[in-house]
Chain A
Amino acid sequence: MADTVTPQNSRSTAKRVMDNVGPPLVVLTVMLIVWEAACRWLDIAVYILPAPSDVFSAFAKHGGTLLYHTGITSMEAVSGFVIGSALGAILGTMFAYSRFLARGFLPFIIAANTIPVVAIAPIIIIWFGHGITSKIAVTAFLSFFPLALNMMKGLQSYDRVVMDVFYIAGASPMQRFFKMRLPNALPYVFVGLKLNVTFSVIGAIVAEFVQADRGLGFVIMTAYRSMGMPRLWAAMLLSALLGIVFFLIIALLERIFVPWHASMDERD
Chain B
Amino acid sequence: MGSTVVMDDPAVQVEKLTLIYESNNQRVEALHNVDLTVDKGSFVSLIGPSGCGKSTLLRVLGDLLTPTSGQVLINRKTPREERLERRIGFVFQEPALLEWRSILANVMLPLELRGTPREERETRAHELMKIVGLTGFENAYPRQLSGGMRQRAAIARALSTRPDILLMDEPFGALDQITRDRLNMELLQIHEVTGITVVLVTHSIREAVLLSDRIMVMSPRPGRISRIITNDTPRPRTLESRNSEAFDALVREGNRELEKGCADG
Enumerate chain A interface residues (CB-CB to B < 8 A): 159, 161-162, 164-171, 175, 179-180, 183-184, 186, 258, 260-262
Which residues of A sit under 8 angstroms from B64, Cβ to Cβ? 164, 167-168
Assuming the contacts A169-B114, A170-B114, A260-B141, asked whether A162 and B96 have C-beta atoms less than 8 A apart, the reply is yes
Q: Which of B90, B92, B113, B141 has the most chain A CB atoms closer than 10 A to its own CB?
A: B113
Contact B113 A166 (CB under 8 A): yes
Tell me if B62 counts as interface (CB < 8 A to partner A). Answer: yes
Contacts of A167 in B (CB 8 A): 63-64, 83
Query: Nearest-CB distance from A5 to chain B (Å)?
Result: 17
Residues in B whose Cβ lies below 8 Å from that of A171: 113
Query: A159 touching B109 by the CB < 8 A rule?
Result: no
Complex contacts, B242 vs chain A, CB 8 Å = none
Q: Find out whether the CB atom of B62 lies under 8 angstroms from the CB atom of A168.
A: yes
The B197-256 residues at the A interface (CB cut-off 8 A) are: none
How far is A165 from B98 in the complex, measured between Cα atoms in Å? 10
- Report the separation of the CA atoms of residues A167 and B88 in the bound assembly, to the nearest whole angstrom: 11
Which residues on the B side are within 8 Å of A183 (C-beta)?
98, 100
B residues near A, CB below 8 A? 62-64, 83-84, 86, 88-90, 92-94, 96, 98-100, 109-110, 112-114, 141, 143, 157, 161
Are A175's CB and B113's CB within 8 A?
A: yes
| Chain A residues with CB below 8 A from B157, complex form | 165
A169 to chain B, nearest CB (A): 4
Contact A179 B90 (CB under 8 A): no
The 22 sampled A-B contact pairs (Cβ below 8 Å) are A159-B94, A159-B96, A161-B92, A161-B93, A161-B94, A164-B64, A164-B90, A164-B92, A164-B96, A166-B113, A167-B83, A168-B62, A168-B63, A169-B110, A170-B83, A170-B84, A179-B98, A179-B112, A184-B98, A184-B100, A260-B99, A261-B100
* Besides A167-B83, A169-B110, A260-B99, 5 new A-B residue pairs in contact (Cβ under 8 A), listed by A number: A162-B96, A164-B64, A169-B161, A183-B98, A186-B100
A190 smallest CB distance to B (angstroms): 13
Nearest residue in A to B99 (C-beta to C-beta)?
A260
Do residues A169 and B96 form an inter-chain contact, with CB atoms below 8 A? Answer: no
Bound: A170/B88 CA distance, A:
10
Quick check: A260 and B113 within 8 Å, CB to CB?
no
- From known contacts A167-B64, A170-B84, A260-B141, infer whether A180 and B98 are also in contact, taking CB-CB under 8 Å: yes
Kindly report which residue of chain A lies nearest to residue B92, judged by CB atoms.
Answer: A161
Q: Closest B-chain residue to A165, C-beta based?
A: B96
Report which of A166, A175, A260 forms a contact with B100, defined as CB distance below 8 A: A260
Q: Contact check: which of A164, A179, A258 meets B113 at CB < 8 Å?
A: A179
CB-CB under 8 A from B113, the residues of chain A are: 166, 169-171, 175, 179
Q: Which A residues are in CB contact (< 8 Å) with B112? A: 179
Q: Considering residues A168, A171, A186, which has the most beta carbons from chain B within 10 angstroms of its beta carbon?
A: A168
Chain B neighbourhood of A179, CB < 8 A: 98, 109, 112-113
- Name the residue of chain B whose CB is nearest to the CB of A260: B100
How far is A238 from B110 in the complex, measured between Cα atoms in Å? 51
Known contacts A168-B64, A169-B109, A175-B113; is-contact A162 B98 (Cβ 8 Å): yes
**Residue picked from A161, A165, A170, A183, most chain B C-beta under 10 Å:** A165
B84 to chain A: closest residue by CB: A170
B111 to chain A, nearest CB (A): 9
Q: Distance in Å from the Cβ of B192 to the closest Cβ of chain A?
A: 24
B90 touches A168 (CB 8 A): yes
Distance in angstroms from A181 CB to nearest chain B CB is 11
- Which of chain A's residues has its CB closest to B64's CB? A164
Q: Chain A residues near B93: list those with CB within 8 A.
A: 161
CB of A169 within 8 A of CB of B99, answer no
Shortest B154–chain A CB gap in Å is 8
Q: Are A165 and B92 in contact (CB under 8 A)?
A: yes
Give the complex CA separation of A261 and B98 in angstroms.
11
Q: How far is the CA of A161 from the CA of B154 in the complex (A)?
A: 12
**In the docked arrangement, what's the CA distance between A170 and B90, Å?**
12
Q: Which one of A171, A184, A260 has the highest number of Cβ atoms from chain B below 10 Å of its Cβ?
A: A260
